[in-house]
C-alpha cells in the first residue's frame, strides 16, 4: 500500500513539473498566423507583444543561463525572432540592414562581453522587412546594458530596446555611431644581399636647409546643420538617454526641442516628429524630474498623443492614450 502511494506521489510531482514547464512556455507566447493577424503594423506588434517594457524603455532578456542550464534557449534572440516571424507572415523578406556597434552600452567591459556573445550578436542591429505588397519597415534592436538577471538565478541578461525607424533615420543613427578606425600601417624596408645578409646602410651627410616659413593654416568652416539634422540629433540623444535611464531630465528637454521643430519637409521628417512627440509624452507622464516643472503635464501629454493618433495614426500614441484612461 505504501509503495503504491509513493508511486502515485511521484506521478503527481512529475505532472506538476510538466505543468510548470508548460506555463513557462506559454508565458513566452506563441506566434501563429492567426495570432499575428491581430496586429495592424510592426509598431503595433512591438507594443502589444511587449518587446519593450510597457513604458517603451529597454527590456531584460537572458542571454546566458549559467552552468546549470547551458542548453536552455536564450531569450535575447526573441525580439529578432518575433519580428522576423511577423514579417514572414506578411509574405515579407527579413534581413540585416545595419550592424550594431553597441554604442548605447557605456561600460567598455560589458560592451566587449556582449559583442563577443553569439546569443547577443545574432539578434541586434537594424533589420528591414520588405513585404510582398511593397511596404517596407525597419526595426532597430539595440542593447543598452548587461546585467545580472533579476528573474533567474545564475543567469546574465542584456537589456534590449526595439524601435521602428525610417530609412534615413536608421542610416544616420548607425552611421553617426560607427566606430572610427584610424589605423596606420608602418612599413619597414630591409636591404639584404643575395646571401640574406643584412647590408648596412651608409647615411649621407644631411644638407643644411634654410628655415621655411610656415603658411597660415586655413581653417575649414563646417556647414551649419539643417533644421532636419538638428531635429534628428535632439531626437537620437533623447531616445538614447531615456533608453538607458540616464540624464532623464536632459533627455526630456531634447525630446521637447525635437518635437518643437514640428513636421519638417523630408522623407523621414514626419516620423522623427511623431516619435519625438511620443518621447515627450512619456516624459510628461513618467519622468518626475521633468514633469513636475511643467504645469498640467498630464493634459499636455494627452494633447500630444491625441494629435499623433488623429493626424498621424501613430500606434504608439494610441496605446499610450489607452493606458492613460
Residue 272 counted as domain residue: yes
139 and 45 assigned to the same domain? yes
> What pLDDT is stored for residue 228 in this prediction?
81
Residue 29 counted as domain residue: no
By C-alpha distance, which of 291, 209, 288, 204 is closest to 256? 291
Picking from 165, 193, 217, the residue at the C-terminal end of a domain is 165
Residue 27 counted as domain residue: no
Query: Cα(290)–Cα(252) distance, rounded to whole angstroms?
Result: 7
Give yes or no for a contact between 44 and 137, defined as CB atoms under 8 angstroms apart.
Answer: no
For 293, the 3-state DSSP assignment is coil
Picking from 165, 182, 216, the residue at the C-terminal end of a domain is 165
A 10 A CB-CB count for 118 gives 11
> What pLDDT is stored for residue 56 in this prediction?
80
Q: Which 8-state DSSP code applies to residue 162?
A: E
> What's the sign of the alpha-carbon dihedral 99, 101, 105, 110?
positive
Residue 94 counted as domain residue: yes
59 and 140 assigned to the same domain? yes
160 and 236 assigned to the same domain? no
> What pLDDT is stored for residue 294 in this prediction?
82
45 and 149 assigned to the same domain? yes
> What pLDDT is stored for residue 187 in this prediction?
41
A 10 A CB-CB count for 103 gives 16
42 and 140 assigned to the same domain? yes
**Residue that is written with C-alpha cell 600601417 in the block:** 185
Non-local (6+) Cβ contacts of 42 within 8 A are 83, 86, 87, 129, 137, 139, 164
Give yes or no for a contact between 284 and 298, defined as CB atoms under 8 angstroms apart.
Answer: yes
Average pLDDT of the chain to the nearest whole number = 78
Residue 173 counted as domain residue: no
A 10 A CB-CB count for 289 gives 13
158 and 63 assigned to the same domain? yes
HSE, CB side, 13 Å, CA atoms: give it for residue 110.
Answer: 17
pLDDT values of the chain reduced to their tens digit, one per residue, 325 residues = 444 444 454 444 344 433 433 343 444 445 555 667 788 888 889 988 999 988 788 899 999 998 777 778 899 999 999 999 999 998 999 999 999 999 999 899 999 999 999 999 999 999 999 998 888 999 999 999 999 998 888 899 999 999 988 888 888 888 877 654 443 344 444 444 445 555 555 555 555 555 555 555 555 555 677 778 888 888 988 898 888 888 888 889 888 888 887 877 775 666 888 898 999 999 998 888 888 888 788 888 898 998 888 888 888 888 888 888 7
Residue 28 counted as domain residue: no
67 and 146 assigned to the same domain? yes
> 102-141, pLDDT tens digit by residue?
999 989 999 999 999 999 999 999 999 999 888 899 999 9
> What pLDDT is stored for residue 20 in this prediction?
34
- Domain of residue 271 covers 228-325
DSSP 188-246: ----B-TTSPBPPPPPPPPPP-PPPPPPPPPPPPPPPPPHHHHHHHHHHHHHHHHHHT-
Residue 156 pairs with which residues in a beta bridge?
Answer: 64, 148
Residue 201 counted as domain residue: no
156 and 84 assigned to the same domain? yes
Residue 172 counted as domain residue: no
The total number of structural domains that make up the chain? 2
Give yes or no for a contact between 163 and 174, defined as CB atoms under 8 angstroms apart.
Answer: no
Picking from 165, 185, 216, the residue at the C-terminal end of a domain is 165
CA distances from 116 to 8, 30, 108, 119, 122 (A): 48, 29, 12, 9, 10
Q: In what order do the strands lie in the sheet with 125-130?
A: 59-64, 156-165, 136-148, 125-130, 93-98
Amino acid at each position: 500500500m505504501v509503495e503504491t502511494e509513493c508511486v502515485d506521489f511521484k506521478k503527481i510531482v512529475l505532472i506538476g513539473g510538466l505543468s510548470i514547464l508548460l506555463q513557462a512556455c506559454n508565458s513566452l507566447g506563441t506566434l501563429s498566423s492567426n495570432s499575428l493577424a491581430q496586429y495592424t503594423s510592426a509598431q503595433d506588434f512591438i507594443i502589444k507583444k511587449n518587446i519593450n517594457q510597457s513604458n517603451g524603455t529597454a527590456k531584460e532578456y537572458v542571454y546566458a543561463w549559467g552552468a546549470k542550464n547551458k542548453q536552455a534557449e536564450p531569450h535575447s534572440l526573441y525580439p529578432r525572432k518575433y519580428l522576423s516571424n511577423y514579417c514572414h507572415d506578411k509574405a515579407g523578406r527579413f534581413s540585416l540592414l545595419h550592424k550594431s556597434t553597441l554604442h548605447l552600452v557605456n561600460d567598455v567591459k560589458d560592451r566587449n562581453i556582449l559583442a563577443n556573445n553569439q546569443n547577443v550578436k545574432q539578434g541586434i542591429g537594424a533589420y528591414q522587412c520588405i513585404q510582398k505588397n511593397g511596404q517596407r519597415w525597419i526595426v532597430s534592436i539595440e542593447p543598452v546594458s548587461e546585467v545580472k538577471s533579476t528573474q533567474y538565478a545564475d543567469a546574465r541578461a542584456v537589456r534590449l530596446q526595439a524601435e521602428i525607424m525610417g530609412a534615413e533615420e536608421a542610416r544616420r543613427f548607425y552611421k553617426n555611431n560607427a566606430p572610427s578606425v584610424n589605423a596606420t600601417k608602418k612599413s619597414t624596408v630591409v636591404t639584404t644581399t643575395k646571401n640574406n645578409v643584412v647590408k648596412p646602410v651608409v647615411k649621407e651627410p644631411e644638407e643644411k636647409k634654410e628655415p621655411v616659413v610656415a603658411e597660415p593654416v586655413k581653417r575649414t568652416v563646417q556647414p551649419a546643420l539643417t533644421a532636419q539634422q538638428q531635429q534628428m540629433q535632439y531626437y537620437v540623444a533623447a531616445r538614447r538617454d531615456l533608453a538607458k535611464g540616464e540624464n532623464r531630465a536632459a533627455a526630456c528637454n531634447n525630446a521637447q526641442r525635437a518635437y518643437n521643430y514640428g513636421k519638417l519637409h523630408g522623407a523621414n521628417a514626419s516620423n522623427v516628429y511623431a516619435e519625438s512627440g511620443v518621447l515627450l509624452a512619456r516624459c510628461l507622464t513618467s519622468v518626475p524630474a521633468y514633469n513636475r516643472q511643467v504645469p498640467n503635464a498630464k493634459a499636455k501629454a494627452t494633447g500630444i498623443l491625441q494629435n499623433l493618433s488623429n493626424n498621424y495614426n501613430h500606434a504608439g500614441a494610441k496605446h499610450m492614450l489607452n493606458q492613460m484612461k
